[in-house]
A and B are shown apart, each in its own frame.
Chain A
């Protein structure tokens, strides 16, 4: 599991993308949920924001972004709605559902536990 995580760079397609229980997948899910928790936005805006907040470290290709968003929608974590943008175009806006909020809390907890575990492991090696 750990090796998989390390070898995984976000934005690379992996075949087991559709496995929702996969932790790595969960990471992208968590990022998207977190972004959408701040405010509802459309897919393009999500991709911009993702690049922005991660400081270009996390490269999520647009080809991976949309399947991920659709998955979150089908799981019932986010809700889609067609709205007009500032420049008067119709776009699909995603917002978090009540379920999505709960899911995000869970994921964030898991992530916190995992990352602290990993950093402990990494520090151990340095000694």
Chain B
């Protein structure tokens, strides 16, 4: 039925809209024909032609009125009105470029910033890992509450015990991260690998894109030489060739350390059996290849590297599962008294995935929200000011008979036009910021996510600002329309007050803006100081002109310790021979790469410590010349030399030496790397070096001990150069390949790059909050300027009288700037209180600065005051140039 109507009506509407002139012409012709016929009729009845025509016209009761009524029947008038209103609104905006620019900039900052940040946030929080029933997937970890270790992996025995006894979990699988040297074709490369017990893929409910996953038989020792490729690696390294199935790869397993015993010879030939679907990722094991883990029998619960992935059984609550875990762990502790774990807990896979970006996102969300609020306050302020200016004009139009609805509609059109222009600018801004934001975001959070500009977020931001605009721009217009016209005209004609209530509202808005800006500024200040503190921390070595690269030898190929030592010695010799190299060394654990293994030790000649307070020391194995290459100063004694290699000598850190031999020379004293009651030789101390912050600038330097050994399979080379270290990267790689064409060098970066990466999160936060603080400052300045400029224009008369009575320019300046400062200071007080309440939540991400740091508060306050003064300056200056006579004549 409706459709049937449209067939007739749509062409008519379109014709009325787009062929308007023709339609009007036809209307003229139709009515003219009628009048002529009618006139002819009257003439035929004997009337004179002019009288006949008059009668005919009379019947039409006003030909123009009839035409207008005919036109109204076309139902497209509102469109013509809208076009008219839009034209008028556009002219208004063009005539007030100051207002327009400020409004558009405000809207763009608020809407664009919000859209960009929320698009990234939504991508992180809502784009989940591609596993069905994701919220039931968890990672289980062991804890040692005494040492504060919260994420301990399990030994095979513990894993088997949990797997067999737990009833809360439907399935439990074990995974561990390992590293491979992949040799396929010319370029050997290092790939991150994962080892999984057979059930992992059925637990995750993932089916492969190609081929199959592991069978339980492949979990038997010696039968697991099959490999699954991730989609990324398949595309990157194998050109997405479906024929990769059945292909044989050389995958050399490269463990970081070989504890004690000789490595078991394992086969390094793997057959590709499948390709995983795109997006497959375990947050804690970001592997590119997956191999089965042999389920060998073990009875010890010491150490272990198995992470447990589990799926909660349907109907089991997290609390219930935790209660069962507590019971199982208590029983386990009775069964394996030597275990270091006293508790177990779990987190969802999703929580691991979002990981350490969460605090960053929360801070960004809070600040972008504040900036949006400030933008809203500014828009409200602008529209209020504008309404006041135009009040007289509106009253006049009402008097002249304009309908109130029509006036409101026109105001609405203006706000809408502003919103569209501002929204478009915001969209452009977001379009420009979002990719930059994604590029800047550190860490893995965005690795498997697509960030696209979010239309719903954009719409919401636009809606919020628009709503504020309507609330503040139209609501007063509504009341204005209802006030007595005469009154409005009178008030307008006095050219003075313009509604003190409205002015008070504008002042309140500015105070709120200043307060919110202060919160953002304080936050930015705290984060900037955190970054500065972190960057200023003395790392304990010289990071400039230092190239670092990791070489991991496969024990399958270099089975004897002597072979590995020889290899690394040769690499270092070749590196030292490269042009521009000043020193070269190697270490098992590079500073910034994490903490080396902590080992119990006993210092010679010291009273034995309490059994529960045996000290530990971080032990690194290093090459000769390591300290010179790193630029770690030798405090006493000497550096390791070639002769020391493999001999038992140690170098200790300054803090350790001072702690145990405060008044003696520590050189020559002995250290036993064991508990006091256990046997072991005391190793003489050869030298003392400065403390190094091993795991990054946030952590205090722990007591450290260095042994001169090169027999471990994985070492990081450190090469000190005279020129840009990266120039040497290719040469270093060449030297290694010359020694073994199957041996990749990876993670080749300068030490400065590594240090930058350590503070990447902090830099990201500080940078973004800096941007927001800038935006907030700008918006606050615009807000203050608007209010003060308006106040000055309203007080021209008063200022004129003051100057006529002898006030100096200085007095006027002081009066106007004082007004602005009073507003700013009120805002600062409120803002300081709010910031004190809010920044407390930030203390976990701060370093070297307290959340109530007076410097940040003072600097932010001073900056806002300066901006307030600057914003007042222009209108104040204008006020001093008021000509008293002109101002008085204004009356």
Which residues in A have some Cβ–Cβ distance to B below 8 Å?
13, 17-18, 42-44, 47, 61-63, 66-67, 70-71, 73-76, 79, 82, 89-92, 97-99
Contact of B34 among A18, A62, A74, A99 (CB under 8 A): A62
Q: Are B34 and A47 in contact (CB under 8 A)?
A: yes
The chain A residue sitting closest to B13, CB to CB, is: A74
B26: A residues at CB distance < 8 A: 82, 92
A92: B residues at CB distance < 8 A: 26, 29-30, 33
Contact of B60 among A17, A63, A98 (CB under 8 A): A63
Q: Are A76 and B73 in contact (CB under 8 A)?
A: no
Q: How far is the CA of A76 from the CA of B53 in the complex (A)?
A: 33
Q: Are B5 and A66 in contact (CB under 8 A)?
A: no
Q: How far is the CA of A98 from the CA of B37 in the complex (A)?
A: 30
Q: Are A91 and B12 in contact (CB under 8 A)?
A: no
The chain B residue sitting closest to A98, CB to CB, is: B4
B61: A residues at CB distance < 8 A: 13, 61-63
Q: How far is the CA of A106 from the CA of B809 in the complex (A)?
A: 82
A75: B residues at CB distance < 8 A: 5, 9
A71: B residues at CB distance < 8 A: 73
Q: List 14 A-B contacts (CB under 8 A).
A: A42-B30, A47-B34, A61-B60, A62-B34, A63-B60, A63-B66, A66-B34, A67-B72, A70-B27, A73-B12, A75-B9, A76-B5, A89-B33, A98-B4
B12: A residues at CB distance < 8 A: 73-74, 76
Q: Are B9 and A70 in contact (CB under 8 A)?
A: no
Q: How far is the CA of A67 from the CA of B74 in the complex (A)?
A: 10
Q: How far is the CA of A97 from the CA of B75 in the complex (A)?
A: 20
Contact of A66 among B13, B29, B38, B70 (CB under 8 A): B70
Question: How far, in Å, is B609 (CB) from chain A's closest CB?
Answer: 97
B33: A residues at CB distance < 8 A: 42-44, 89-92
Q: How far is the CA of A71 from the CA of B66 in the complex (A)?
A: 13
Q: How far is the CA of A65 from the CA of B72 in the complex (A)?
A: 14
A17: B residues at CB distance < 8 A: 69
Instruction: List the 10 shortest-distance A-B pairs measured between CB atoms, nearest first.
Output: A76-B8, A63-B61, A67-B69, A70-B73, A44-B37, A71-B73, A62-B59, A70-B70, A63-B66, A92-B30
Question: How far, in Å, is A61 (CB) from chain B's closest CB?
Answer: 6
Q: Are A63 and B62 in contact (CB under 8 A)?
A: yes
Q: A79-B8, A92-B30 are in contact. List 14 more A-B contacts (CB 8 A).
A: A44-B38, A62-B60, A62-B61, A63-B62, A66-B66, A67-B66, A73-B12, A75-B5, A76-B8, A76-B9, A89-B33, A90-B29, A90-B33, A91-B30
Q: Are B38 and A62 in contact (CB under 8 A)?
A: yes
B70: A residues at CB distance < 8 A: 66-67, 70
Q: How far is the CA of A91 from the CA of B65 in the complex (A)?
A: 21
Question: How far, in Å, is B631 (CB) from chain A's closest CB?
Answer: 88
Question: How far, in Å, is B63 (CB) from chain A's closest CB?
Answer: 8
Q: How far is the CA of A110 from the CA of B75 in the complex (A)?
A: 26
Question: How far, in Å, is A78 (CB) from chain B's closest CB?
Answer: 9
Q: How far is the CA of A70 from the CA of B24 in the complex (A)?
A: 12
B75: A residues at CB distance < 8 A: 74
Q: How far is the CA of A8 from the CA of B15 in the complex (A)?
A: 34
Q: Is B258 an interface residue (CB 8 A)?
A: no
A43: B residues at CB distance < 8 A: 30, 33-34
B31: A residues at CB distance < 8 A: 66
Q: Are A63 and B9 in contact (CB under 8 A)?
A: no
Q: Are A62 and B5 in contact (CB under 8 A)?
A: no
Q: How far is the CA of A89 from the CA of B38 in the complex (A)?
A: 14
B29: A residues at CB distance < 8 A: 90, 92
> In this complex, which of B5, B26, B34 has the most chain A Cβ atoms within 10 angstroms of its Cβ?
B34
Known contacts A70-B74, A91-B33, A61 near B59 by CB under 8 Å: yes
Question: How far, in Å, is B29 (CB) from chain A's closest CB?
Answer: 7
Residues of B14-59 at the interface with A, using a CB-CB cut-off of 8 Å, are 26-27, 29-31, 33-34, 37-38, 59
Question: How far, in Å, is A102 (CB) from chain B's closest CB?
Answer: 9
Q: How far is the CA of A87 from the CA of B9 in the complex (A)?
A: 31
Q: Are A67 and B73 in contact (CB under 8 A)?
A: yes
The chain B residue sitting closest to A47, CB to CB, is: B34
Q: Are A97 and B30 in contact (CB under 8 A)?
A: no
B73: A residues at CB distance < 8 A: 18, 67, 70-71, 73-74
The chain A residue sitting closest to B26, CB to CB, is: A92
The chain A residue sitting closest to B31, CB to CB, is: A66
A44: B residues at CB distance < 8 A: 33-34, 37-38
The chain A residue sitting closest to B56, CB to CB, is: A62
Q: How far is the CA of A117 from the CA of B382 in the complex (A)?
A: 62
Known contacts A63-B61, A63-B65, A92-B30, A18 near B8 by CB under 8 Å: no
Q: How far is the CA of A66 from the CA of B13 in the complex (A)?
A: 18
Q: Are A74 and B74 in contact (CB under 8 A)?
A: yes
Q: Are B8 and A63 in contact (CB under 8 A)?
A: no
Question: How far, in Å, is A41 (CB) from chain B's closest CB?
Answer: 12
Q: How far is the CA of A90 from the CA of B62 in the complex (A)?
A: 23
The chain A residue sitting closest to B7, CB to CB, is: A76
Q: How far is the CA of A91 from the CA of B34 in the complex (A)?
A: 9
A79: B residues at CB distance < 8 A: 8
A18: B residues at CB distance < 8 A: 72-73
Q: How far is the CA of A43 from the CA of B30 in the complex (A)?
A: 8
Q: Are B65 and A97 in contact (CB under 8 A)?
A: no
Interface 1/0s, chain B 61-84, versus A by CB < 8 A? 110011001101111000000000
B66: A residues at CB distance < 8 A: 62-63, 66-67
A62: B residues at CB distance < 8 A: 34, 38, 59-61, 66
A13: B residues at CB distance < 8 A: 61
Q: How far is the CA of A82 from the CA of B26 in the complex (A)?
A: 9
The chain B residue sitting closest to A89, CB to CB, is: B33
B34: A residues at CB distance < 8 A: 43-44, 47, 62, 66
Q: How far is the CA of A15 from the CA of B65 in the complex (A)?
A: 13
Question: How far, in Å, is B793 (CB) from chain A's closest CB?
Answer: 45
B5: A residues at CB distance < 8 A: 75-76, 99
A73: B residues at CB distance < 8 A: 12, 73
Question: How far, in Å, is A29 (CB) from chain B's closest CB?
Answer: 12
Question: How far, in Å, is A39 (CB) from chain B's closest CB?
Answer: 17
Residues of B464-491 at the interface with A, using a CB-CB cut-off of 8 Å, are none
The chain A residue sitting closest to B41, CB to CB, is: A48
Contact of B4 among A42, A67, A82, A99 (CB under 8 A): A99
The chain A residue sitting closest to B38, CB to CB, is: A44
The chain A residue sitting closest to B74, CB to CB, is: A74
B62: A residues at CB distance < 8 A: 63
Q: How far is the CA of A17 from the CA of B66 in the complex (A)?
A: 13
Q: How far is the CA of A47 from the CA of B60 in the complex (A)?
A: 11
The chain A residue sitting closest to B70, CB to CB, is: A70
A99: B residues at CB distance < 8 A: 4-5, 8
Question: How far, in Å, is B72 (CB) from chain A's closest CB?
Answer: 7
Q: How far is the CA of A9 from the CA of B8 in the complex (A)?
A: 31
B7: A residues at CB distance < 8 A: 76
The chain B residue sitting closest to A42, CB to CB, is: B33
> In this complex, which of B27, B31, B73 has the most chain A Cβ atoms within 10 angstroms of its Cβ?
B73
The chain A residue sitting closest to B12, CB to CB, is: A74
Q: How far is the CA of A27 from the CA of B839 in the complex (A)?
A: 73
A98: B residues at CB distance < 8 A: 4
A74: B residues at CB distance < 8 A: 9, 12-13, 73-75
The chain B residue sitting closest to A72, CB to CB, is: B73
B13: A residues at CB distance < 8 A: 74
Question: How far, in Å, is A18 (CB) from chain B's closest CB?
Answer: 7
Q: How far is the CA of A92 from the CA of B34 in the complex (A)?
A: 10
Q: How far is the CA of A97 from the CA of B12 in the complex (A)?
A: 14
A67: B residues at CB distance < 8 A: 66, 69-70, 72-73
Question: How far, in Å, is A68 (CB) from chain B's closest CB?
Answer: 8
Q: How far is the CA of A67 from the CA of B69 in the complex (A)?
A: 6
A97: B residues at CB distance < 8 A: 8
Q: How far is the CA of A42 from the CA of B26 in the complex (A)?
A: 13
Residues of B255-274 at the interface with A, using a CB-CB cut-off of 8 Å, are none
Q: How far is the CA of A72 from the CA of B125 in the complex (A)?
A: 57
> In this complex, which of B8, B13, B61, B66 has the most chain A Cβ atoms within 10 angstroms of its Cβ?
B8
Question: How far, in Å, is A52 (CB) from chain B's closest CB?
Answer: 13
Q: How far is the CA of A62 from the CA of B747 in the complex (A)?
A: 92
Q: How far is the CA of A70 from the CA of B66 in the complex (A)?
A: 11
